[in-house]
Amino acid sequence: MNERTYDVVIVGSGAGGGTVAQELAPLARQGQRILVVEQGPRLRSFEFTGRETDMSSALYRDGGAFVTADRSISLAFAQLYGGSTVVCTGTSLLATERTVSDWHVPGLAWSDLEWRSRKYLEQNSAHLIPPEDINDNNRLFADGARAAGFSVEQFPVNVSGCRGSSLCNLGCPNGAKQGTHVVQLPAAERAGVEVVTRAEAVRVEERAVVVRVRQALPGEKGAPGEWEPGEYRVRARIIVLAGGAAGTTALLLRSPISRRIPHIGTGFTCHPSLIMVAEHDAPITNDVGHPKSFYVDHADAGGYVLESCMYPPFVVARSLTGFGADHSRMMHAFPRLQMILAFACDRTTANNRIAVDDAGEPVVHYKLTPEVTQSLAAATRAAARIFFAAGARRAHVPAADPPLLERADAARLDTRIDASHVVPGTTSISSAHLMGGCAMGPPHQAVTDAWGRVHGIPWLRVADASLFPDAARINPYVTVMVLADRVGEAVRTDVGVLGAITAR
């Protein structure tokens, strides 16, 4: 096995890993050796084609087909240079003060996160899309929600030079999205941080990570890997894990060191989501412009958040309930479709957790609780009210049976839409917010402290959404970045102390 030695190794290059890499750039400038290992490839700008088939395969784990152990919820997360910041819509919000307070993490104050978030909102050019660039799909959400009595807010989004391709979830073809692949990682690399792609962390050993570097497959997107294919033992004084909730948790679980870390894998949440569509009489602009501009935050009042959204046909098709002629008719109304995403603010339970299979691959055990199905039903009623208040002719909502609601049904949504119709295995439920598995908190109930230090193992850190002790209750990437910012700060402080323990 090849042997390499660094001062700090970061596993993963998304919102967590990219942020830590940038925060350790001063160390790199001082001559310390910082390495980022990323499982996926480094896509070149011309490889963002916007085509669903090849982009899904290139960007998402299992081509977007990763599902929970009981196959009832699809879980989307990206594996490439920049991680899921490449494919998210860039909605840039920090978890609320109430959420962070409810996490009860000793030493973690929302005011500290809020202060740090300003840096990332500025760095990532987060701003409100101007009214002239808001498409009809988003505008109808805002107008309908206000008419239905909801308080509507606009998302700041991290785009610069957005040309309105609407292809955010397939990776911006114009390089407008300010993910870590555009902002933090290039800055870190300019300062001397080394990034190695196509490099999977196989296991964590004592102050070392075993990494398997693979060759690009024929026809596979991405630049050639930076290291020769093969296995490497990379020794370091500090190891930071930032491979996402599933990736980091699975990496630890398949490593012998996991025996020293109780509570790994527990406390998984994912904001289970429904995608709903409604048909208007006339065509609307929906496949041009930023896809996600507005939201209704009912996390506290109803346990859900509604967001305007727009997805390509293959996502919409699988999100609709049923099949056959009715399904096809709805799909052929695509230019007239308004879309809303609803996610439930789930809470940790004893059974929802991340494990690994015999091959060490992540397995997500997740069951909808009655509270979550009630929240999804309530969210569906709210979405239906918004659709009809916006003038929709009919709506397709999976929490109704049959799922098609006509305008005349608007007066009896409470009876048509019911939690009993949210049926795993029939209702298409998805998630793109994987959280928990290596939660922050006190040693007797959590994996790390409030600075991402693994309890009892001072050289091992976690810096991604697996840190969340419970759901973020809003799109999580900014919260991941500010937590990673803290991890970076702690590493800068601790690397000198741990310097006495030289890498062997």
Partner 1 sequence: MSYDDLRSVRHTLTAAARTFVPEIADLDDDDWRVVECDIERLFLQRTPEVRRQVVLFLTALEFLAVLRFGRPFSHLALDSRTRFLESLQRSSMVAVRRGVWGIRTMVLVAWYTQPATTFAIGYAPQFDGWTLRRPVSTPITSTDGESANGAPANGAPANGAPANGSLANDNPANDNPVNDNPAHHAP
Tell me which residues touch partner 1 (CB under 8 A).
Answer: 45-53, 57, 62-63, 65, 67, 70-72, 133, 135-136, 163-167, 173-175, 281-289, 312-314, 316-318, 322-325, 327-328, 331-336, 361, 423-426, 428
The least distance separating partner 1 from the CB of residue 71, rounded to whole angstroms, comes to 5
Using alpha carbons, select from 377, 268, 315 the residue that is nearest to residue 74: 315
**Closer Cβ to partner 1, 313 or 443, answer by number:** 313
Strand bridging mode 34-37 / 194-196: parallel
The least distance separating partner 1 from the CB of residue 21, rounded to whole angstroms, comes to 25
C-alpha span between 321 and 276 (Å, rounded)? 10
The least distance separating partner 1 from the CB of residue 484, rounded to whole angstroms, comes to 30
Contact 237, 5 (CB under 8 A): no
C-alpha span between 172 and 327 (Å, rounded)? 29
CA 260 to chain centroid, in Å, comes to 28
The least distance separating partner 1 from the CB of residue 282, rounded to whole angstroms, comes to 5
- 330 in helix, strand or coil? helix
**Closer Cβ to partner 1, 227 or 334, answer by number:** 334
**Closer Cβ to partner 1, 269 or 286, answer by number:** 286
Write the burial class of residue 492 (CB in 10 Å: 0-12 exposed, 13-18 middle, 19+ buried).
Answer: middle
CA 351 to chain centroid, in Å, comes to 21
**Closer Cβ to partner 1, 26 or 402, answer by number:** 402
| DSSP symbol at 96 | P
**Closer Cβ to partner 1, 108 or 434, answer by number:** 434
**Closer Cβ to partner 1, 47 or 409, answer by number:** 47
**Closer Cβ to partner 1, 83 or 403, answer by number:** 403
The least distance separating partner 1 from the CB of residue 278, rounded to whole angstroms, comes to 15
Q: What H or E segment, with its residue span, contains residue 380?
A: helix 370-389
Q: What H or E segment, with its residue span, contains residue 188?
A: helix 184-190
The least distance separating partner 1 from the CB of residue 62, rounded to whole angstroms, comes to 6
C-alpha span between 408 and 502 (Å, rounded)? 72
C-alpha span between 85 and 98 (Å, rounded)? 25
Write the burial class of residue 111 (CB in 10 Å: 0-12 exposed, 13-18 middle, 19+ buried).
Answer: exposed
**Closer Cβ to partner 1, 102 or 326, answer by number:** 326
The least distance separating partner 1 from the CB of residue 248, rounded to whole angstroms, comes to 20
The least distance separating partner 1 from the CB of residue 49, rounded to whole angstroms, comes to 6
**Closer Cβ to partner 1, 150 or 294, answer by number:** 294
Cα-based torsion angle of the residue sequence 357, 361, 367, 368 in order, rounded to the nearest 10 degrees: 180
Phi, psi at 370, each rounded to 5°: -55, -35
Total number of residues shown for the chain: 504
Phi-psi region of 285 (alpha: psi -120 to 50; beta: other; left: phi over 0): beta
The least distance separating partner 1 from the CB of residue 201, rounded to whole angstroms, comes to 20
Using alpha carbons, select from 368, 364, 316 the residue that is nearest to residue 338: 316
**Closer Cβ to partner 1, 257 or 355, answer by number:** 355
CA 320, 326, 332, 338 torsion-angle sign? negative
**Closer Cβ to partner 1, 283 or 456, answer by number:** 283
The least distance separating partner 1 from the CB of residue 284, rounded to whole angstroms, comes to 8
The least distance separating partner 1 from the CB of residue 183, rounded to whole angstroms, comes to 19
The least distance separating partner 1 from the CB of residue 326, rounded to whole angstroms, comes to 10
**Closer Cβ to partner 1, 134 or 209, answer by number:** 134
C-alpha span between 463 and 244 (Å, rounded)? 8
Q: Write the DSSP assignment of 7-38 as a string of letters.
A: EEEEE--SHHHHHHHHHTHHHHHTT--EEEE-
Phi, psi at 178, each rounded to 5°: -95, 65
